[in-house]
Amino acid sequence: MKQFNLAEWALKHKSIIYYFMFRASSQAG
């Protein structure tokens, strides 16, 4: 799974919050 693809999906579904949460979780973990 590619990160840029996830960002695009988040934009399409207007789930920016989920996208940032995922990134924060990835950086933390």
| All structural domains of the chain with their residue ranges | 1-29
**According to the model, what pLDDT value does residue 27 have?**
82
Note if the pTM is more than 0.85: no
**According to the model, what pLDDT value does residue 26 have?**
84
Distance, CA of 12 to CA of 27 (rounded, Å)? 23
**According to the model, what pLDDT value does residue 4 have?**
66
pLDDT digits (tens, 9 = 90+) for 1-29: 566 677 777 677 776 777 788 888 888 76
Distance, CA of 28 to CA of 25 (rounded, Å)? 5
**According to the model, what pLDDT value does residue 1 have?**
55
**According to the model, what pLDDT value does residue 6 have?**
72
